[in-house]
Amino acid sequence: MRLFYCLWLFVLWMNTEKSFQQNEVRCRLTLPPLEGTMYEPAYRSVFSSGDTVRVTCGSGHWISNPQDTSAVITCNDDGEWSVGPECQDFLCSNPQDPLVHFWYVELGQFRKFGEYANYRCKSGYKRTNGITRAICTRDGWRPNPLCQEITCDRQDIQNAHIVTNNKLKYKYSERVNYVCRDGYQGSVTRTCGENGWIGDSQCTDTKCRVPLIENGIVIGNIREYDTDILHFECNVKYKRTENRPSVCTEIGIRAEWSPTPMCEPVKCRLTLPPLEGTSYEPAYRNVFTPDEQVTVTCGEKYWISNPRDTSAVTTCTATGDWTVRPVCKEVTCRNQRERNVNSWDVYWGQRITLGDTARYRCRSGYKSTDGTNLATCTRDGWRPNPLCQEIICETEDIPNANIVNPKWRYRNNEQANYECKEGYEGRPTRICGENGWTGDSQCTGAEQEGSRPW
């Protein structure tokens, strides 16, 4: 039994020794050959068949293929790794691109990942997307392609159409000629260039078109305007910005209306009070729009609207005028030509203001109405009114007498003759004067000559 046990231990030891021999170390890792390279696990450098290791490369390097920055590698039975465990620099070489005219990297020279290189494209081609230089990437040089053909899409020009070479796309340096439509003139060409079409010539309008006037309307043909002067009207509460007519004028490459036909809102303006004591309500504004009202109050010796009014309400109209001119005027009286006034002690054109007086004289046959021969300047003009009145005497009765050829009224210096009644003597005569009747007014009776007999 003891012999059997020892034999079993010997066999077990032989098998174990054989297993150690079969799992003998076969694969090794050196220190990272490039900066940034890492291994996982990182604490070993010797591996057995079947063991795996993750290799991670630094930026700008690759393993397995240029697209991979990491890979899992396996230790093979032959002691080799399934993939070489070393990271490699990513390099770009001088590309053999048929569209590149010149490359600033010598043949056989390389650029590392992220480095740039300058280049020029062949005539008729330009660098893709307008870049200025190529960059080395994991997918090779970018952009890809490095150069693209220069083309221009067909361009439509206002008021013109293509005469020759009409197509959808044009190549570099191709030229397109246009002809202007009726009513326009000019020589229009475009050339396809690296950055698009070259040329800015336009078709010039030979006549002015009907404009769209805000807050106004054109009078005349609404399609074309063949005359040189534009006729238009502004809407209610709007007016022309300029009073002079708009004339069709060549300005630059176009024919345009000058001045530009425009309508602006109507405004009524107030100047500062021209006379002392004048005030406006509201007082904080001097510009108003149609239908707005202003109360104007004048000073003591002034008037507005008519001489009797010292205040008035005026309204801004749609034409920019006021219903009542918002200016106060001084109350004045002038030497007036009145038919019954003979002379004034006021020279012609002299200004007499409210409350002033002036002396005057009436012509023959007339007298001062109030007997003073002084006229006073009032808001209603000179007072009294009339200044002179005709001298008139009403028929007067004389005791014991009858008037000869009687009438109702007598004028200045007219004479009234009387006859005394029977038993009386005398021929009374009365004369109409400025102060009434003057003259003899007595009829003498016989009994007055002596005393009565009793």
8 A C-beta contact, residue 294 and residue 326: yes
The owner of tokens 């006073």 is: 376
Residues 400 and 442 in one domain: yes
Residue type, 122: K
Across 252-281, average pLDDT: 83
| Residue range 163-183, pLDDT digits in tens | 877 888 898 888 999 888 877
Determine, yes or no, domain membership for 110: yes
Which CATH number characterizes residue 296's domain?
A: 2.10.70.10
pLDDT in the model for residue 267: 92
Determine, yes or no, domain membership for 407: yes
- How far apart CA 372 and CA 57 sit, in angstroms, is 131
3-state helix, strand, coil in the chain (%, to 5): 5, 40, 55
Report the share of the chain in percent with pLDDT over 70. 87
pLDDT in the model for residue 317: 93
Using alpha carbons, select from 387, 385, 353 the residue that is nearest to residue 373: 387
Asked whether the predicted pLDDT for residue 145 surpasses 70, the reply is yes
Using alpha carbons, select from 283, 400, 280, 389 the residue that is nearest to residue 339: 389
Residues 376 and 428 in one domain: no
Determine, yes or no, domain membership for 195: yes
Cα distances (Å, whole numbers) of residue 244 to 226, 241, 247, 352: 19, 9, 9, 43
Residue type, 46: V
Residues 85 and 27 in one domain: yes
Give the chain's mean pLDDT.
82
pLDDT in the model for residue 224: 61
Residues 171 and 194 in one domain: yes
- How far apart CA 85 and CA 82 sit, in angstroms, is 9
pLDDT in the model for residue 389: 93
Of the residues 347, 370, 390, the one at which a domain ends? 390
Residues 364 and 323 in one domain: no
Across 87-97, average pLDDT: 78
Question: What is the band of 140 on the pLDDT scale with cuts at 50, 70, 90?
Answer: confident
Determine, yes or no, domain membership for 67: yes
8 A C-beta contact, residue 372 and residue 420: no
| Residue range 276-307, pLDDT digits in tens | 778 899 888 889 999 999 999 998 889 888 88
Question: What is the band of 32 on the pLDDT scale with cuts at 50, 70, 90?
Answer: low
Determine, yes or no, domain membership for 287: yes
Q: What residues does 267 pair with on adjacent strands?
A: none
8 A C-beta contact, residue 259 and residue 246: yes
Residues 386 and 396 in one domain: no
Tokens representing residue 372 in the block:
């003073």
CA atoms 270, 273, 277, 283: torsion sign = positive
pLDDT in the model for residue 360: 92
Across 363-388, average pLDDT: 91
Determine, yes or no, domain membership for 18: no
Asked whether the predicted pLDDT for residue 21 surpasses 60, the reply is no
Q: What residues does 162 pair with on adjacent strands?
A: 178
Question: What is the band of 223 on the pLDDT scale with cuts at 50, 70, 90?
Answer: low
Residue 315 sits in which domain range?
A: 266-330
pLDDT in the model for residue 31: 61
pLDDT in the model for residue 59: 76
Q: How distant is the alpha carbon of residue 111 from its chain centre? A: 60
* Residue 210 DSSP code: P
- How far apart CA 338 and CA 341 sit, in angstroms, is 5
The pTM for the full model equals: 0.44
Residues 336 and 326 in one domain: no
Determine, yes or no, domain membership for 84: yes
pLDDT in the model for residue 322: 92
- How far apart CA 424 and CA 420 sit, in angstroms, is 6
Residues 43 and 62 in one domain: yes
Determine, yes or no, domain membership for 300: yes
Question: What is the band of 426 on the pLDDT scale with cuts at 50, 70, 90?
Answer: confident
Radius of gyration over every alpha carbon of the chain, rounded to an integer in angstroms: 63
Number of domains in the chain: 7
